[in-house]
Amino acid sequence: MAGITGLGTTFNLPNYVGELFSLSPETTPLLSAIGGLTGGKKADATTFEWQTDDLRDAAQRTRVEGADAPAFEERTRSNVQNVVEIHQEAAAVSYTKQSTTGQTTSAGVSSASQPITNELDYQVEKKIKEIARDVEFSFINGQYQKPANNSTARKTRGILQAIQTNVVTIAPQNVGTGLSTATDTITEATTPVANDDKVIFTDIGAATGIVQNRVYYVVQKATGSFKVASTKGGTAITLGTATVSYSRPAVAAPSTSTYLDLVQQVWDNGGLAESEYATFLLGSSQKRNLSKAIAASYGQYTETNRNVGGINFTKFETDFGTFNTMLDRFMPADTLAVVSLEQLSPVFLEVPGKGHFFEEPLAKTGAQDKVQIYGEIGLEYGNELAHGKLVGLPV
């Protein structure tokens, strides 16, 4: 259902009766696990920083008897930066709307079962949940942006962009970059896609109607162009004028070795030091792929949780310790990440006298209540070597 912009009134925010059910998932597992909106660390600048260091490679370094002191050696440190991004929302409700809790659109039905008794509080609650989902998306998919001036917004670097070393890419069938869209058509000379192919947009630019990293289906393939729909053979989505990029993920089912090769790479590079927090962060398609791969290797791994009649493990033993699985709706459909949760933390910029995430009334300009919700938050991800990702998996 649609949202509205501007002032909420009795005309555009009608009351209904009966129990209220939310259509949108509200869970933010990664944000909740690493501290949530009420925890985390405090920043006193828009850019925050942490340090990394290392030890020299181990070797059999020995000295002879009576040797002089060896040459002086020291270790350097490196810094890692990220930024807090601003999340700001507002809501305004007329005095009349606030007062008419008994006015419903359901004729002949008792208004006693109308569950919303304070429209403004209800709208603020929805805004807070929306911000939490936006933060979850940013912490996973955020693309770093530290502007030189205030003409563009700050954007925090998400965990997937942060992972640069431990990356295993399953070769996609093909990719298309920098493609132009007009209305509902994507132009690609000699495009290799076919109707019903799955595509995932890695960059949507200014396109409308589509979401980055979600699966779509090719429809109405023509010479040098194609369209996409939400379902096979569905109605083409209106994209507008934009520049987009896509990938067509692999089709071959991954084996257990595919996952363990990544885990081994992360472990070899010093990650997964605390097995209790070693976690597979993944979406629905990759949860099924992982379950299938583990099931195929039954007897080699000990599943600690299992449902009769099917496999739905939440923890399992590997050569590199026990791993949790965290199912997250904001993970790209073709990507799986291995994360060391103990190294992740939300970082908040605290506003003096207000806190790090707050609601406050806006100036009165008429017969309405107006508020804004404000907070600045970024992700500290620790040592990027402690995490890894698989990209291009079949969906």
**Model confidence at 213, in pLDDT bands (50, 70, 90)?**
confident
Report the candidate in 200, 206, 207 with the shortest Cα–Cα distance to residue 238.
207
pLDDT at residue 317 greater than cutoff 80: no
Rounded to an integer, the average pLDDT of 10-18 is 88
User: For 17-72, how does the pLDDT look when each residue is reduced to its tens digit (9 = 90+)?
Assistant: 887 888 888 888 899 888 854 568 999 999 999 998 888 888 888 999 999 999 99
pLDDT cut 70: percent of the chain above it: 93
Say what the pLDDT of residue 33 is.
87
User: For 115-126, how does the pLDDT look when each residue is reduced to its tens digit (9 = 90+)?
Assistant: 899 999 999 999
DSSP letter for each residue of 27-55: --HHHHHTTGGG-SEEESSSEEEEEEE--
Indicate the average pLDDT of the chain: 89
Q: Does domain 173-248 have CATH number 1.10.3720.10?
A: no
pLDDT at residue 299 greater than cutoff 80: no
- What six digits make up the tokens of 390? 């698989």
**Model confidence at 387, in pLDDT bands (50, 70, 90)?**
very high
Rounded to an integer, the average pLDDT of 181-201 is 93
Say what the pLDDT of residue 348 is.
95
**What type of residue sits at position 53?**
D
**What residue spans define the domains of the chain?**
25-50+79-90+117-171+251-395, 173-248
Lowest-confidence segment of 11-20, 87-96, 218-227, 356-365 by average pLDDT = 11-20
Say what the pLDDT of residue 1 is.
65
**Model confidence at 298, in pLDDT bands (50, 70, 90)?**
low
How many CB atoms are located within 10 Å of the residue 391 CB? 20
Say what the pLDDT of residue 309 is.
38
- What is the C-alpha separation between 126 and 379, in angstroms, rounded? 23
Rounded to an integer, the average pLDDT of 4-26 is 87
Cα dist. 20→23, 93, 113, 189, 198 in Å?
10, 20, 10, 49, 35
Rounded to an integer, the average pLDDT of 156-173 is 91
Say what the pLDDT of residue 304 is.
56
Say what the pLDDT of residue 300 is.
53
**Model confidence at 110, in pLDDT bands (50, 70, 90)?**
low
Give the residue, 106 or 310, on which the prediction is more confident. Answer: 106
Which residues, 6+ apart, have CB-to-CB distance to 32 below 8 Å?
none
Rounded to an integer, the average pLDDT of 377-387 is 95
Say what the pLDDT of residue 310 is.
44
pLDDT at residue 326 greater than cutoff 80: yes
pLDDT at residue 136 greater than cutoff 90: yes
Handedness of CA 183, 189, 194, 199 (dihedral sign): negative
Say what the pLDDT of residue 37 is.
46
Tokens 């806190």 correspond to what residue? 355
Using a 10 angstrom Cβ sphere, with 0-12 exposed, 13-18 middle and 19 or more buried, the burial of residue 302 is exposed
Rounded to an integer, the average pLDDT of 271-282 is 87
Say what the pLDDT of residue 273 is.
83
25-50+79-90+117-171+251-395 folds as: phage-related protein like fold (3.90.1690)
Give the predicted TM-score (pTM) of the model. Answer: 0.88
Cα dist. 111→10, 101, 200, 270 in Å?
15, 8, 46, 61
pLDDT cut 90: percent of the chain above it: 63
